Amino acid sequence: MPYETVLLERDGNVALITINRPDKLNALNPQVCRDLLGALNEAACDDAVGAIVITGAGDKSFVAGADIAAMSKMSPMEGRAFADLGHAIGDTIAGCPKPVIAAVNGFALGGGTELAIACDVIYASDKAKFGQPEVKLGIIPGFGGTQRLARLVGLQKAKELVFSGDTIDAAEALRIGLACAVFPHAELLAKAKELARRMAAAGPVAVAQAKRAMNHGYDLPLPAALELEKQTFAALFGTHDQQEGMGAFLAKRKPTFQGK
């Protein structure tokens, strides 16, 4: 279905979601958040899609942050509702059984960094900029940044970035583990789609369960996390895809997964 502020396209088995407000540097407002939620859910429910890439329209910005003009008029209740929308996006990405890749093609500030770090993998252009500048506006990150950032880069580095509001470039994001890889600007989207296709070619049930085990196990004590892995590993032996994958390997042919 068409969305007001987001484009959803399919390229083979990869869904591309483009936040489409280039005149506003793709800033997030409630409408963008609702459209993004709709596009994510539509792609997640499409059986022909094996992986999702999120990027921003234009050549300057992934998401330059939340729309400050819209936020400046919000009451505390409206601010909470806006935060709920942002968290719903992160929860939807985490709960999506398909890998979600952020292709950060420019500014990813505030809500832009938070959207990126909610994704499973961040690929960045060499022109990308990351930061959580909310304290400079008298607020804090409200779309998951105070929690997810520390889980990626460590608590001390996250505090440095959040408390200062500093912006970092792609090379520094790569160095601290915020970005997974950095590519020349013109190659970014192709590289993100290449990764998405490799992920989409794997067993979809296995990928979904690996994502679930890794996301749920990350905050568990290690013995409980390892038990979750064992249970998930064992359960996959009852799937068609496990039989197909191993049978194809032994027969030296390409597997035909059915997602069941």
User: C-alpha dihedral over 17, 117, 145, 159, to 10 degrees?
Assistant: -150
Token readout for 115 is 């959207």
Backbone angles phi, psi at 244, to 5 degrees: -65, -45
Say how far apart CA 76 and CA 84 lie, in whole Å: 12
| Catalytic choice (114, 160, 172, 227) | 114
Residues 65 and 114: beta-carbon distance below 8 Å? no
| Catalytic choice (134, 227, 229, 244) | 134
Residues 3 and 42: beta-carbon distance below 8 Å? no
> DSSP of 58-112, one letter per residue?
SSSEEE--B-HHHHTT--HHHHHHHHHHHHHHHHHHHH-SS-EEEEE-SEEETHH
Residue 194 annotated as catalytic: no
Residue 172 annotated as catalytic: no
Catalytic center residues? 114, 134
